[in-house]
Structures are given as C-alpha cells and as structure tokens.
C-alpha cells in the first residue's frame, strides 16, 4: 500500500540563502528541490513528499500521514524523473495539516523527502494507470520497500524570506522482514491468476493461519475455520502472541473502559490449552494498488478480488490445512473494514458461510456514510442549518463525543497524499471499491476533495451495484433471506469514533421488519460511550461462541 533500488549515496542537503528582500519582492517563497543519484539508473514516476517536523525522532517520514496527529507534509506528482533530475515542491504543493508551505511558521525544522514509486499497469479494461504497487507492507507510502528517502536534515525555513532546500533521495527503504513460521502460525502467499490477468501485472493474495492445539498429532482430523477480516497485517489472527507479556491489573482496568478484547498474550494462553475448542483461524491479505485491503468484493476499479478470494485463496487454504469445507464450518468475523467485509461476504455468499459477526463495520447503509446521506446531501463538508448558519461535518470524535477531525480536513489529507484516488487512505479506498471508473481510468470521486460537492451519480452507482448492504438486502431478500436466517450479527459502540453506529441503526430497522423469513440475527450496542473497536467479549470467548455455532448447525455424523 517496488522493488528496492540497490544504491546508497551520501546526502547533499543545504539551505541556499538568497537576498531575502529580493525573494520577497519577486513573490518567491521557500521551496524544496529533490533529486536522486544518476547511479540509480532508472526513471521514476510517483508522488514526492517533504515532511517538516520540529522533532528529530522518529524520522520525519514516520511522523506524517495520520489524521489527528501528523507533522506537516507536502506532496506533488512527478512523472518521468530521470536520474539526476529535480522535482520541485513549493507553495503550490498540496499540504496537510497546513494547506501550503507558505503557511509554515519560520523556524528550525527537521526535514525529510520521500518518493512513493508508482508502477505502470496495463489493465484488462484497456486503461493504462500509474499506481503504487503494494510491497506486502499494506500501502504505507512512508514505509514501503523500494520507496526512496532522504537522510533527515536540520534546516531553518522562513517561507516569507524564501530560499531553496535541496534534498537528495539517497537510499531506498528495505524489504519487509516476513515473520517466520512456527508450530502455531503459518504464512501463505500465492499469485492470483484472476487479478494478474485484470491488472496486467503479477498480483498476490495471502493468509496468516493459526493452527489449533495438537494439529500435527491428528493428521486425519479436519477442523472448522474462522476467517478474521481486517486491514492488512502479517500478525496472527486475534493477535496471538505466546511470547508477549501478561497484562497488568491496571492495564486491564483501563482497557475494559473501552473493550473486553484481551491482548494477544492472554489470548494465546487460552488458545494453546488442550481443552480449548480446536478450530483453525485465518486472516486474509489482499492489498490493492489503491488501499491496504480490497474489501473482499469485485469492483470496477480494483478488479475481481471477490472472485479471487472465493475461487482461488479460500479453496487453496481449505485444502492445504485440513479445513472442513462445508458452510456450517465456515465462520466470519471482522472489525471496521473487516466488519463490513465479514457482513458482505456472508450477504453476497449466503450459502457458503455459516454465520458472520460484523464488528463496528464501515458504512452498511449509505444514508449514513459516516454522517452524510450521499443520496440527498449536496456537500460532504457542511450542513446548512438555516440561510445564515452552516455546520462543519465531523469525521471522527472521541469517546466523550468531542469532534477531533472534520470531513474537510480528512479530504485535505487525502488530497495532499495523492491525486486521482491514489492517497491510499479511507475515503478514496471506498471510492475505488464502491464507485465507477472515470474516463481517465481512475476512480470517480464521490465528492470533490477541495469543495465537498457531492456527485449523486456516483452515489447512485454505488447503490445500484450492490455496495450499500442495506439496499442490497432489501432488493434481494426474497431470494437470500432464507439462507441468511440466523447468520447476521452486528456489534458496535454507541459512541463509535467514526459515527458508524448510525448506519447500523438503519440496517437494524430494515432487518427487524423482515418477514418470510425474519432475519433472526442480532444487533449488540455498547453503551455508554463505547468507541470504535468496542466488543463485548474476549477473543477467546468469541472463538468458543463461534465453535458452539458450528456444533449447533453441524449435520449428524459430521466431523467435529
């Protein structure tokens, strides 16, 4: 979410002072000039960033990119930069949280440049695109292997006085160190035929598999499976960590204010007991050129990820790891992005899975796309209260309800991170999954990232193509209701940090009214003041609950 370039040349970085008055008179502000050595031997296309921080550590690049906490950074697109050439970032570069380099207060800063390298894709739909090819890091521009960075440097910057700061992209970030396999945990990575054909470039799927106690001692036994969905990670399912440290009573008390989910060490102690239910738990990895996760569905922009997961990855895993390949033995769970995926996989494949727990899912009814109604609202940034008063739309809040970030600010962040849907962040990830392909081959924005103007044609496409889960259920209940009966479970806090509980209320309103059959599932709300990430049971308790569900629906004489 690039193969490393094997060179390392000493950085050249300096503030070249010019007569400050003359620069100010010409209207020239400070600017950065970025270059990379001729010895690199290749031409680069991608996104160049400069991060500016008052703190030396961690490296400035590792302080940037977050929503509520980010050192100022600025970005520009770069096409065909030859070795020894120069890319310039000045007041015209998009920035976050400052909109422009001109807004930076004069002072001493640590600065660092990053070049997010793009790959050219010749897609099967006829479009040629430049995007960042994930290097198994989960679309993280400031950590991705092969991306170029400069050595951090201390400089004085005064945008009003002007000056040039030259930075050399002198080294490439190293490959990801893959975790080793153990008795308990196995890592899988396979090339997808379907996705490779769509993207015209080798594309991969992966999984991290957590095996039950005594798995190797019973070579003929098969096991139920829990597919845990979420953002890209190479960590084991449920945070399994037998080498961690026990939680202190003080830590447990603080944690339980927000969730019953236990740390990985405590979960591992339960999982490794001989008396614990013997199931296989698997997390899936499916990063795209737009985001760290595909949302496990087919889409016009991302390609056939749903088919690749269902037809390639899951069959491979179920054969490789002695999984009971029957609907009653397949359980889904996930949180946030994974919560939406856990629900979508069950809803789109009602006969394939035996039950789903969608925890604090991304919007399941686009009448509450966080706070916006994308079908009716004309602007994502403001809501008009009267002819004279308009309110900013929040994007995030704390457990006390205090807004922390607005939709305007989140859109600004993504605008600074990339153009044409290439920010690698949440809003544009949804547009890549849910929305149409534009004439240029890139996703069509749901709203303008600088003005907030809502495109209702895009919203209609999203609904008509089945990504609004409530609308999809409503349109298809007569055929999918029966196989979904008793399988849908939604869990969310009443003070979800991203207002995701609001869409869950609307989904429940619809499902509570279903007939022939009634959905017979459950919605569980955490209160008071339970934020994003809340769940009412430990992971070990969830595994026991999922195992009981498998036993309750297993046919007579089935393997248990």
pLDDT tens, position by position, for the chain (560 residues)? 332 322 222 233 333 333 322 222 334 789 999 998 876 678 999 999 999 999 999 999 999 988 888 999 999 999 999 988 999 999 999 999 999 999 999 999 999 999 999 999 999 999 999 999 999 999 999 999 999 999 999 999 999 999 999 999 999 999 998 899 999 999 999 999 999 999 999 999 999 999 999 999 999 999 999 999 999 999 999 999 999 999 999 999 999 999 999 999 999 999 999 999 999 999 999 999 999 999 999 999 999 999 999 999 999 999 999 999 999 999 999 999 999 999 999 999 999 999 999 999 999 999 999 999 999 999 999 998 888 999 999 999 999 999 999 999 999 999 999 999 999 999 999 999 999 999 999 999 999 999 999 999 999 999 999 999 999 999 999 999 999 999 999 999 999 999 999 999 999 999 999 999 999 999 999 999 999 999 999 999 999 999 999 999 999 867 54
Please name the residues in contact with 267: beta carbons below 8 A apart, sequence gap of 6 or more. Answer: 238, 239, 240, 241, 538, 539, 540
- Collapsing DSSP to helix, strand or coil, 212 comes out as coil
- pTM of this prediction? 0.93
Strand order in the sheet with 185-191: 185-191, 204-210, 280-285, 225-229, 330-335, 356-359, 488-493, 522-526
Span(s) in the chain for CATH 3.40.50.1820: 185-365+468-553
10 Å CB burial of residue 535 (0-12, 13-18, 19+) is buried
**Helix 426-434 with 407-417: angle, nearest 10 deg:** 80
Count of CB atoms situated within 10 Å of the CB of 476 = 15
- Residues paired with 81 in a beta bridge: 44
Which CATH code, of 2.60.120.10, 3.40.50.1820, 2.40.37.10, 3.40.50.720, is assigned to 185-365+468-553? 3.40.50.1820
Cα–Cα distance, 420 to 139 (Å, whole number): 16
């Amino acid at each position: 979410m690039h193969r490393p370039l094997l060179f390392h040349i000493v950085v050249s970085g300096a503030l070249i002072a010019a007569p400050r008055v003359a620069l100010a008179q010409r209207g020239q502000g400070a600017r950065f000039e970025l270059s990379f050595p001729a010895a690199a031997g290749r031409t680069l296309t991608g996104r160049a960033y400069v991060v500016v921080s008052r703190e030396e550590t961690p490296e400035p690049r590792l302080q940037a990119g977050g929503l509520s906490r980010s050192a100022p950074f600025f970005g520009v697109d770069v096409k065909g930069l030859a070795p020894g050439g120069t890319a310039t970032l000045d007041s015209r570069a998009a920035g976050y949280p400052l909109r422009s380099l001109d807004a930076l207060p004069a002072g001493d800063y640590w600065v660092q440049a990053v070049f997010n390298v793009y790959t050219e894709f010749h897609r099967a739909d006829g479009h040629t695109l430049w995007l960042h090819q994930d290097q198994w890091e989960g679309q993280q521009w400031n950590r991705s292997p092969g991306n170029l960075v400069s050595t951090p440097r201390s400089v004085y910057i005064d945008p009003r006085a002007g000056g040039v700061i030259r930075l050399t992209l002198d080294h490439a970030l190293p490959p990801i160190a893959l975790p080793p396999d153990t008795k308990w945990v196995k890592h899988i990575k396979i090339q997808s035929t379907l996705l490779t054909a769509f993207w015209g470039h080798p594309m991969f799927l992966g999984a991290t598999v957590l095996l039950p106690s005594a798995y190797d001692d019973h070579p003929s036994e098969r096991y139920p499976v829990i597919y845990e969905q979420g953002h890209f990670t190479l960590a084991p399912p449920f945070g399994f960590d037998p080498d961690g440290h026990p939680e202190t009573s003080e830590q447990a008390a603080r944690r339980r204010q927000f969730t019953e989910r236990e740390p990985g060490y405590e979960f591992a102690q339960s999982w490794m007991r001989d008396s614990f239910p013997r199931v296989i738990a698997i997390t899936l990895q499916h990063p795209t050129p737009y985001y760290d996760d595909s949302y496990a569905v087919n889409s016009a922009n991302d390609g056939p990820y749903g088919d690749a997961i269902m037809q390639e990855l899951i069959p491979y895993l179920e054969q490789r790891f002695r999984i009971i390949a029957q609907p009653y033995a397949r359980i889904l769970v996930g949180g946030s992005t994974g919560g939406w995926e856990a629900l979508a996989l069950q809803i789109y494949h009602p006969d394939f899975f035996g039950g789903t727990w969608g925890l604090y899912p991304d919007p399941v009814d686009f009448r509450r796309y966080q706070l916006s109604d994308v079908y009716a609202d004309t602007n994502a940034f403001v809501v008009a209260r009267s002819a004279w008063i308009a309110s900013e739309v929040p994007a995030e809040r704390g457990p006390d309800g205090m807004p922390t970030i607005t939709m305007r600010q989140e859109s600004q962040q993504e605008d600074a991170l990339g153009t044409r849907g290439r920010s690698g962040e949440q809003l544009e990830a949804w547009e890549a999954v849910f929305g149409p392909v534009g004439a240029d081959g890139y996703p069509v924005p749901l709203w303008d990232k600088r003005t907030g103007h809502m495109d209702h044609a895009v919203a209609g496409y999203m609904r008509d193509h089945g990504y609004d889960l409530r609308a999809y259920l409503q349109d298809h209940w007569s055929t999918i209701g029966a196989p979904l009966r008793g399988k849908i479970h939604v869990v969310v806090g009443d003070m979800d940090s991203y207002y995701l509980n609001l869409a869950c209320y609307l989904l429940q309103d619809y499902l509570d009214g279903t007939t022939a059959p009634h959905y017979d599932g459950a919605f569980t709300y955490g209160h008071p003041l339970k934020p994003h990430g809340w769940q009412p049971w430990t992971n070990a308790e969830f595994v026991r609950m999922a195992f009981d569900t498998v036993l309750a629906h297993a046919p007579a004489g089935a393997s248990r």
